[in-house]
Amino acid sequence: MKTEIIKSLLNKFESCAHKTDQGIEFWLARDLQQLLGYTKWDNFLAVISKAKISCEVMEHKVLDHFADVGKMVKIGSESEREIDDIMLTRLACYFVAQNGDSRKEEIVFAKNYFAVQARKFEIIEKRIQEFERVRARHKLIETEKELSSVIYQQTKNDKNFGLIRSKGDKALFGYTTQEMKSRLKIPDNRALADFQPTILLKAKDFATEITIFNTKNKELKTEQAISEEHIINNRSVRKTLISRGIRPENLPIEEDIKKIERKIESENKKSLKKPDKLEK
């Protein structure tokens, strides 16, 4: 996510925060609806309903974090009417974000904004970058599983999937998977992708998606044909990266993705401990 988008969203979310007389921070659902990019109230209510279930599952009392209230809105130049609204604690907003559409940038931001206690821009930006890297890694895992499945469907054998993937790495990096691990000093028992930056995870995912598509579309029936297809696609992605000044083999490794996952999980758990509650 771009820095300017994070800054803009941070300002918007902060400007919509309120505090009760007891100092409990909360957001109004009608405001959060707009912040998260939902145009219809009914659709957003469905997300809130799922959030309430998540709240119960995590053994928090729904009424401590979701409070029905009325809100006066103008309907003409001199008239107003009351509409339903909901006061949401930070925990409630966290559950709403967790149940929202993760394809929306606003939802990705909210998932991280409501999970961290210190809402400094630098902390949120770093958290979002880590979140997006983890998501890209999971996406690559699923795409590679799909390619393995497609290879089996087309050839009735996927025992050489690792070799095909390594040939793809050779085309993308100029080095095989094992050679790249040696260059970067990555343990033999760990995946190369667990230490690569987001852009390379997405690049590998894109090349693999093309291989899947063309294997099906061209009805490739042999391991050699699929392997050659995968090599061509990775070479094409490499060419694009180099044309933009990025040499895949020269990018430094990043922190172990498993450590990042554990850190995010730990922060999420902390956000669920002893949350502020709305006064009855």
| Residue whose pair of structure tokens reads 């033999």 in the numeric block | 188
- What average pLDDT score do residues 4-11 get? 92
Residue 69, H or E segment? strand 66-74
Element (H or E) spanning 73, and its range? strand 66-74
What pLDDT, on the 0 to 100 scale, is given for residue 76?
A: 61
Amino acid in position 135: R
pLDDT tens-place string over residues 165-186: 999 999 999 999 999 999 999 9
Residue 269 banded pLDDT, cuts 50, 70, 90: confident
Q: In what order do the strands lie in the sheet with 80-89?
A: 18-19, 25-28, 80-89, 66-74
Q: In the predicted model, what is the mean pLDDT of the chain?
A: 91
Residue 19 has pLDDT above 70, yes or no: yes
Q: What whole-number distance in Å separates Cα of residue 52 and Cα of residue 49?
A: 5
pLDDT for the residue 267: 84
pLDDT band per the 50, 70, 90 thresholds, residue 155:
confident
Residue-wise pLDDT tens digits, 82-125: 788 999 999 999 999 999 988 899 999 999 999 886 668 888 89
- What's the pLDDT at 280? 59
pLDDT at 74: 66
The Cα–Cα gap between 87 and 151 comes to 51
Q: What is the mean pLDDT of residues 239-263?
A: 96
Domain ranges of the chain: 3-114, 130-264
pTM over the 0.85 mark: no
Q: Which pLDDT belongs to residue 33? A: 95
- The total of other beta-carbon atoms located within 10 Å of residue 32's CB is 25
- The model's confidence at residue 53, banded by pLDDT at 50, 70 and 90, is very high
The secondary element (H helix, E strand) that includes residue 243 is helix 223-243
Average pLDDT estimate for 38-42: 93
Alpha carbons 174 and 164: distance in angstroms, whole number: 15
Angle between the 3-15 and 105-113 helix axes, to the nearest 10 degrees? 60
Residues in the chain: 280
